[in-house]
Structure 1
């Protein structure tokens, strides 16, 4: 979901710079709400489990797409499925540009050796380059974010009344190496809750995660679990109205950043220099594990690979440091 959300500022910039351009995004139905407020854009959904499954399904999809008469195709994913689709569409002689993911630079950045690290091109700029290579003007601006969505009744109940502020916290990640230890995150929750100054909204994932979030909700009077309680459209509405989002290196941080919500990312064995920091969130919006103790960070791009012992890297981040950073960002 993070990769999908990162396309939003780029598509907003593309639409702003090319107001007569009609854009069609090919994506799964679940992700469609993410694109609902981008001008001159419509979504074409792909059914990868049935109608468009496998090579025969992709061939059928290519026939459907040919009927739309595109003038160019931008592949922002560059995976096997899109490579096959490109082959089926090649007879159309359409300009078809695929993202350069910078795999070699990322391999060098994540090599398990002592290294001097430097920031790579951001994923947002890599997306923008695809459109530039199709001869479209794309200049990213801090204003290329979505506006807050007017909250519905189902969303309003989670939002704090003034002067209280609403904090979103998404404590989970796809891999443990980039997830702040739950016992430390609970210290953060406890500190924020006990100030009586905030509503704390908890975002999560599957059944196991929801149980943990409900435990936090039942323990701390100002904490509210929304995972499994809202549709994606409602979650997006809620996120757009937060005062701040605290996230791991994961999708929720990109969802909040696409609305221009201040987003604090807690980094473990991954690192913002790989190009996956949320849109327009500066260095002050990141807290990193200690590279003096764990010099091989970043050990992977996605957080799935690390040397023995590096699973403890995030214990170098003090909960009080996280709380201080949250308060500072809220007061800016």
Structure 2
């Protein structure tokens, strides 16, 4: 009788980009250690991110419903303990919720992520300016301590998804190369000005098919205007499930994104990903996976020397709001054309 697989509980509940960044690391873990099992604890919305992982199952946490609050966490832990026997817990989130939860789950081994808060504080205060350990490396460190080192240097990515008839109809059948553009982010200081993005889309749509990504009515309205004003532009925001969006992303030739979740979704699928950086900076460790440094287009630090003003882009001086305006539309278009 074969020994049961060692089951590692991986906790990462939010946010979108952070959850997406776990995927290349977990994929490397699954590829290298086919004799282990992974149970990923995350929110239901993110379950499709893990669809290509071998030996992995996903357990959905309803943190706004039945698993809300301390009592909800007791309930969640009871459900996990009832269904599984965990060899170890890898807490890739390390916030109060996961700290409470891991105390309630049966496992003798626990390792939690070191988020490097001290170094990040030094980076945004201006006392250092250097590349910090990436989030992917910090995730990998957790598994190294557990005895499962992961090599991130030769990643294996899933094959392109087959497009359903619905998606084929939506995207059209011509053979133009497809560029995904995700022009929004959680904070305005991370976004490229809309008028300049219009110039980028106007230029690229002459030769390529542009697929627009976003969410929420305000963003959809802006993207609808782009779609109406230019040929070869398709707005998919609000029209697809997350599973379908991943299918579309896997078929892109390149993705243009802000420092946001869409960049990490594209990168986890092995898509070439160009990022625009405003008040944040790749040195904080949040660059998308396996992308060359030159794919990150940075605001001018001669004009805006306090960059990065914060790790997440939620704090910045008022005159830094449009720091990314210092990146010319032409430089973005040229970079994409070079890659294609």
Structure 1 unaligned regions, length at least 5? none
Q: What is the root-mean-square deviation in Å for CA atoms of aligned residues? A: 1.3
Q: What's 1:126 paired with? A: 138
TM-score, normalization by structure 2: 0.92
Q: What's 1:52 paired with? A: 67
Q: What's 1:176 paired with? A: 188
Q: What's 2:109 paired with? A: 95
Indicate whether 1:266 and 2:276 are aligned: yes
In the TM superposition, what are the counterparts of 1:61-100 in structure 2 within 5 Å? 61-67=76-82, 68-89=84-105, 92-100=106-114
Structure 2 unaligned regions, length at least 5? 1-15
Q: In 2 relative to 1, CA 160–198 (structure 1 residues): closer, same or farther, beyond 3 Å?
A: farther
Paired residue secondary structure (1:221): coil
Paired residue secondary structure (2:36): coil
Q: Distance in 2 between matches of 1:51 and 1:214?
A: 37
Q: Distance in 1 between matches of 2:173 and 2:153?
A: 31
Q: What's 2:6 paired with? A: none
Paired residue secondary structure (1:280): coil
TM-score, normalization by structure 1: 0.95
Indicate whether 1:32 and 2:47 are aligned: yes
Q: Distance in 1 between matches of 2:202 and 2:65?
A: 46
Alpha-carbon offset, residue 312 of structure 1: 2.5
Q: Distance in 1 between matches of 2:80 and 2:40?
A: 11
1:9-37 alpha-carbon deviations (Å, 9 max, x no partner)? 00011001111111110111111111011
Residues paired across the two proteins, number: 324
Indicate whether 1:232 and 2:242 are aligned: yes
Larger RCO, structures 1/2 (Cα 8 Å, 6+ apart): 1
Q: Say if 2:89 and 2:107, in contact at 8 Å, map to a contact too.
A: no
Alpha-carbon offset, residue 188 of structure 1: 0.3
Q: What's 2:231 paired with? A: 221
Moved over 4 A (4+): 158-163
Q: Distance in 2 between matches of 1:309 and 1:151?
A: 44
1:185-226 alpha-carbon deviations (Å, 9 max, x no partner)? 000011112x2x211000001111001111111111111100
The range that moved more, 162-171 or 178-187, is 162-171
Q: Distance in 2 between matches of 1:50 and 1:279?
A: 32
1:71-104 alpha-carbon deviations (Å, 9 max, x no partner)? 1010111111101112223xx4521111100000
Q: What's 1:7 paired with? A: 22
